[in-house]
Amino acid sequence: MKKHFLHSENGSEVFWQIEISGLSLILSSGKTGFVGKRSIRNFDTRDQCLKEFQKLIDQKTKLGFRESDHVPSFRTLTGKSNYLETWKSIVNASEPKEALRSHFQILAETEECKELLDRIISKIDQVYIEDDQFVFTLPWHHDEETSVHIRWNAPYLGNIHSSVPYSLAKFVSNFNGVGFHHDNDDFATLSVQGVSAYGENRPARIIGDGGWEEDILEEGDDWWINPLAVVEKDYGDIQSFGAFDESQNWYVFHPFIKNKLGEPAIASVYHGSCEMEAEIVRFGMGGFILREIGSWILNIRGYDLEKDLPLSGGPVLTKKFQEFMAKKAVALSGNHPIIAKRLLEYDWHSLSFAIHNTISDWVQSLQNSVKEKILVIDTYWDDAGEIIFLGFDWHAGTDYEEAMSEGANEIEYILDFTSFYKTILGTTFIEELNGEEVIGILEDDYAITRDILAYLSVENLISIVNGEEFQKLPRDEKGVYVAYSHYHDEEAEVAYHSSEKEIKSEFIKSLFSADEKGKPAKEISESEQEILDDITGDVLEDYPWVWKSTIEKSIDRLAANFQENKERYQREFNKILEYKDKASSDEEEMTLMNLGMQMSSAALNRFLRENKPDLAGWVLHCYNEIYQTLGISRNSTLKGNETGTSYNTAEYFSGDIIVFIAKYGGGKYLPLLEDLLPPDIQDARLAFNLACLNSLEKNKDNLLRYTKLALSLGKPKKDFQDSDFNNFKDDAEFHSLVALH
């Protein structure tokens, strides 16, 4: 028995898989599309194995992991070293076109792709091998006496980095790049660059060449530019992978739009408009290359690259929705920059599948209970204090107004967005999150997240209405309406009728205007903030409260735009020394001392979890500069960002400093670490991190010392299977401490 689960972490989709094999559990986890880490747990009885199987599934479900219907087989993508033999067999085949069709089948991602591949294969004139490239020729539609030579590079034979979209990784493991050459031109009219390893024994990354000029984007005016700033990226983060029109225009991966595979969508950048255009969402790299061959060389039409995903039965994450979501996130960023960033990095692809599956299950349940002809499917939020549940109802009749006037039939709140809100609000440590708490955090901006979720849900509902399962229900012959309202006592708006092809534009404008502006908070300048703090501090004589309030805003500001706000953060952080001098009591001095360490520790932990080493390093640098003047308290406590559990601040801070040093260097912080370490460590996490650090530094005595301590404080032995301990994996003394058997 095998089960596969998916979850979104920091904008990336990760998987967790569990399999029963005899009296063992095989556990796998990692980034979706890649092999990840694997471990095995053995048991004495089948009953023990089954109990642990269910226990682990329950734990992952509570953490927001969603079970997937698709259980992939794990295989590392890499090319085959005998590719030349394969190529020669194609060239010499008695039926070369059949051999070509079989070899290039890896490009066919859909039935439409297979049809197009057949049309291309039928037009091929010559097939040959030259300069370690597989080449075939096609007649150019402008002048059929001129041949276009399509040159396919040899496959990439090494490991491929996880940042490479899966469809591109699959392509380069067969052909590491391709170029279209008119007649005998050496320079390719169109090229896809492939991947290359930048350093010995390092996985390959995308070759961003082809004359790519990222600065050209500064001259454009695209909708995605503002969201790019929200996620703290710039034009340099736009990844080019190919060029066309003799490198005057380029192919790039879109920073926000994802294709149906959940990968960054392919887009074009033209030097004339200086903007990204024609995002491709219906297929990945294989389908893209087939369509470029068909349209550029053979003038085969009818395979429009720019079409959005159809609402035709399956899960959908349309371009329209993704652009809508990004604009809404920008509106949210004025008041909630971190939440806006999380929205933009959220795994919407997986959420759309979860929404679709849940609504589909509800539709199937209606097949057994509904006898009347359905005219309307109605959906709205549970506004009775739990505004994180979206309900669905159906109405029978022959007239829309009459059917709706009869009120609710049997509303079921089937879509539960608790996990979504926990992730974007950063409240995963709260076991039970309710609507009141969501409103308390977002306030009026709740409407932004509500509209995003409703838009995605309505699109998937419409797709289901057009699917095969819905057709099994009794329904009105003229078609079915899909209606939505924000609350049950509002008049519902018709979003769609099944006799039409698209969502009604007036519905979008009425309820989900993408141009709606948020309510950006007034940004207070540094000088204004300083004056305000001084007045508040002098009047209230509560300098700890004033400093804490200011530094919390400064941390969020730092997260929103690091380069712009780093110096301001340091000045506002250093203000704590001035307040310490003004403190009227020893107790207030101690409070400030504690706050300096607590806020630095919490910020360091946050930026480490968000994988932002520059921000984490800056927070650490600012504290390191003044801690000897500020002082260190051994009795300070704080709550963990993820668990909400109280920890000794010095121990918690030390544990994260060790993580920073081990991961990013930073040996200059070792004296700070020594000053923070308590003589009697009580935190298993800290002892474990010290063991990791000493393993990496090959200090055996300290490794054994802290390993024993971590184990005595409750750290599981399995945690010591981490690769950080590879320097001592064959050491007998270390092995005797951590061996699982």
Per-residue pLDDT tens for 284-293? 899 999 999 9
Render pLDDT for 400-435 as a digit per residue (tens, 0 to 9): 988 888 766 778 999 999 889 988 998 766 677 888
**CATH 2.20.140.10 residue spans of the chain:** 2-68
Segment 112-123 shows an average pLDDT of 92
Kindly state the average pLDDT of the residues 125-140.
93
| Tokens matching residue 616 | 């984490």
Task: Spell out where 24-174 has E strands.
Answer: 24-31, 37-42, 66-68, 127-130, 133-140, 143-153
pLDDT classification of 526: cutoffs 50, 70, 90: low
Residue 682 has pLDDT above 90, yes or no: no
Q: Residue 258: phi, psi to the nearest 5? A: -110, 150
pLDDT at 176: 94
Q: What is the CA radius of gyration of the chain?
A: 29
What confidence score (pLDDT) does residue 129 get?
A: 95
Residue 38 has pLDDT above 70, yes or no: no
Q: So what's the pLDDT on residue 741? A: 57
Q: Which tokens sit at 361? A: 């299950």
Write a three-state SS string for 85-119. HHHHHHHCCCCHHHHHHHHHHHHCCCHHHHHHHHH
Q: 36 pLDDT exceeds 70?
A: no
Residue 471, pLDDT > 70, answer yes
Q: What is the pLDDT of residue 522?
A: 43
pLDDT at 493 over 70: yes
CA–CA distance, 523 with 83 (Å, rounded to integer)? 60
Q: What is the mean pLDDT of residues 363-380?
A: 90
Average pLDDT of the segment spanning 468-478: 89
Question: Which H or E run includes 50?
Answer: helix 46-62
- Is the pLDDT at 262 greater than 50? The verdict is yes
Give me the mean pLDDT over the 230-237 stretch: 84
Q: Which of 100, 107, 103 is nearest to 122 (CA)?
A: 100
Residue recorded with tokens 């309406």: 481
State yes or no: pLDDT of 600 exceeds 90: yes
For range 70-77, the mean pLDDT: 58
Query: What is the assigned CATH class of domain 2-68?
Result: mainly beta
Does residue 532 sit in helix, strand or coil? helix
C-alpha span between 723 and 734 (Å, rounded): 14
What's the pLDDT tens digit per position in 133-164? Answer: 999 999 988 787 889 999 999 999 988 877 78
Q: What is the C-alpha to C-alpha distance for residues 207 and 242, in angstroms, rounded to an integer?
A: 9
DSSP state of 145: E
Q: Give the mean model confidence (pLDDT) for residues 304-312.
A: 76
User: Residue 515: what pLDDT?
Assistant: 41
SS3 708: helix
pLDDT for the residue numbered 9: 54
pLDDT of residue 37: 61
Distance (Å, rounded) from C-alpha 298 to C-alpha 321?
33
Q: What is the mean pLDDT of the chain?
A: 83
pLDDT tops 50 at residue 642:
no
Confidence class for position 33, pLDDT limits 50, 70, 90: low
Q: 220-245 burial by CB neighbour count: b if 16+ within 10 A, else e?
A: bebebbebbebbbeeeeebbbbbbbe
117, pLDDT greater than 90: yes
Please choose, from the candidates 454, 453, 444, 448, the residue with its C-alpha nearest in 3D space to the C-alpha of residue 493: 454
